[in-house]
Amino acid sequence: PAAAAPARFATPADALRTVYGYESFRGDQAEIIDQVVSGGDAVVLMPTGGGKSVCYQIPALVREGTGLVVSPLIALMHDQVDALRANGVNAAYLNSTQSAAERADVERAYLAGELDLVYVAPERLSSPATTRLLQRGALSVIAIDEAHCVSQWGHDFRPDYLALGDLGERFPGVPRMALTATATRATHKELTERLHLDGPGGTPAAKHFVASFDRPNIQYRIVPKVDPRKQLVSFIRSMPEGAAGIVYALSRKSVEQTATYLAAQGFDALPYHAGLPAEVRAANQARFLREGGVVMVATIAFGMGIDKPDVRFVAHIDLPKSVEGYYQETGRAGRDGEPSVAWMAYGLGDVVQQRRLIDQSPGDRTFKMRMGQHLDAMLALCETVECRRQNLLNYFGQESGPCGNCDTCLEKPDTFDGLVPAQKLLSTIVRLKRERNQAFGAGHLIDILRGSSNDRIRQQKHDGLATYGIGTDLSDQDWRSVVRQLLARGILVAQGDYGTLAPGEAAGGVLKGETPVPLRKDTMGRVSGGGRARK
Ligand code: ADP
Ligand code: ZN
């Protein structure tokens, strides 16, 4: 017969002191742990570096039985388990990288009540054999890490997470926790429902703990891309001498080229991406962690689980695919609380490239639409004339005022009056709908406004519209920036699989001329403030 692992500590505070060497809990940690130790469920939203691990590890040490941790990051399991063992915790993992003998060993230890914690990959849990094994032993708590992965609308959906909804039924009486560092309002609601933490069938609902997502020591700066390499170099030179930082690029090629370029400029720059041999990656990562002043040029493959407190800057030379990704990546700066900078250069080329990647991706229409929405939210952050931090926090469902520590707060961006272009665009959309019951995406609408003559215009007889050719004062690129900015403010909405444009909630006031529409100048091609005509 199986045995339950004994409780290792009498109180959470004992565990915190003995295992981790900390004197006091941070933020909501103590309350979260109390909730779970007393048998309740919890949903924990806490930014990266906030201290989520302690929240599920300590209940596992204080309650009788083994703590089950569901984690999608197999690469990290090994490190976490090693770190726990080094601190005297009996931890192990079950995943696909193990041999049958290794797995059998862990299973035996579990049933003998020798394990405080066992980490499993989500796909393991969908196997009935694993469920039966875990049921024969005794669990103290079930922690679902990276819980946002259950959200089909999130940026990181993993189908295996959908099967985690019935863990409450499979393991009755075992408290459950869902933890994540990236959840918008919508994702928060969705993960609560999908993981059955909303009290189905009259059971007590989970308690929710939402920590502030603000990272006040990080200064956000986003600049229009002109000459990205030169801009990057002058940005890094503006940092204190010997500052360690991460430069994120989208492609392996761009990582290699940028690292080479920075090295030629005298920086201690190293590349990191999944295409490099494992030993090169390990060596570069080790240098970044150990030495001061290394600039790691990397794809997003770099950073998960990297706990380097004194990263002074994170730079993006390509547009991240989502605000969640941006927040997670920039969050690797300044974990020590010292002033740090999140810098990004972005341009129209990024937007075009990402739209193409989305179009060419193998996903279905829903998937593409979702990716498009993530991109739009990212663009809204780039093009806002308001506080960046406010925009970012609002995205994660947190209200705040202007921060005074981002580029738009420190220096109000140059704006021009976009009321007339907005009205021209809206009236074209409204007329097409009213007169012909048609709707189009940005490209075709801009062609109409700029009086372009192409097959589609001629076939549709759109050269006969009253608004045909009334927007020649702006270039194609300028118009695209106008569209993005209007989308970002809810004056326009993109609908359906093809992203056809329609008036948004805020369109009424614009059509009546009541709502001012200040638009950023710097994100446009070379817009002329007064609307001077040019070819
Ligand atoms: P997360 O999983 O939320 O990103 P971690 O659990 O990895 O964060 O914790 C981040 C860092 O904070 C770790 O180095 C951890 O040891 C440390 N930490 C956690 N709780 C405390 C605490 N109460 N006091 C001091 N440091 C803590
Ligand atoms: Zn601000």
pLDDT digits (tens, 9 = 90+) for 486-529: 887 779 887 766 678 999 888 999 999 998 999 888 766 543 33
End-to-end Cα separation, the chain, in angstroms: 84
Cα 394 to ligand 2 centroid, rounded to whole Å: 12
Q: What is the pLDDT of residues 30-87, one digit of tens each?
A: 999 999 999 999 999 998 778 999 999 999 999 999 999 999 887 778 888 999 999 9
Q: For the complex shown, is ipTM > 0.95?
A: yes
Report the interhelical angle of 419-436 vs 476-488 (nearest 10°): 90
- Determine whether the shortest distance from the Cβ of 15 to ligand 1 is under 6 A: no
For residue 100, give both structure tokens. Answer: 């049958």
CB atoms within 10 A of CB 519: 26
Q: What is the mean pLDDT of residues 295-319?
A: 90
Integer angstrom CA distances of residue 200 from 35, 192, 204: 19, 11, 8
- Determine whether the shortest distance from the Cβ of 25 to ligand 1 is under 6 A: yes
**pLDDT top residue among 339 and 373:** 339
Report the interhelical angle of 388-395 vs 365-383 (nearest 10°): 150
**pLDDT top residue among 530 and 515:** 515
Among 179-183, 288-292, 305-309, the range with the most confident prediction by mean pLDDT is 288-292
pLDDT at site 347: 80
Contact 248, 298 (CB under 8 A): yes
- Determine whether the shortest distance from the Cβ of 332 to ligand 1 is under 6 A: no
Q: What is the mean pLDDT of residues 451-472?
A: 94
pTM, to two decimals: 0.72
Q: What is the mean pLDDT of residues 425-443?
A: 94
From the centroid of its chain, how far is CA 344?
15
492: Cα within 13 Å, side-chain hemisphere: 33
Q: Which one-letter DSSP state was computed for residue 44?
A: E
- The strands making up 244-248's β-sheet, listed across from edge to edge, are 218-224, 340-346, 311-316, 244-248, 295-298, 269-272
Closest approach atom of ligand 1 to CA 48: 4
Cα 401 to ligand 2 centroid, rounded to whole Å: 8
Residue percentage of the chain with pLDDT more than 70: 96
Q: What is the mean pLDDT of residues 446-464?
A: 95
Cα 55 to ligand 1 centroid, rounded to whole Å: 9
246-274 burial by CB neighbour count: b if 16+ within 10 A, else e? bbbbbebebbbebbebbeeeebbbbbbbe
Please report which helix (H) or strand (E) contains residue 248, including its range. Answer: strand 244-248
Q: What is the mean pLDDT of residues 206-212?
A: 94
Measured over the CA atoms of residue 386, residue 392, residue 398 and residue 404, the dihedral's sign is negative
Contact 263, 331 (CB under 8 A): no
Cα 281 to ligand 2 centroid, rounded to whole Å: 36
* pLDDT interval class at 139 (50, 70, 90): very high
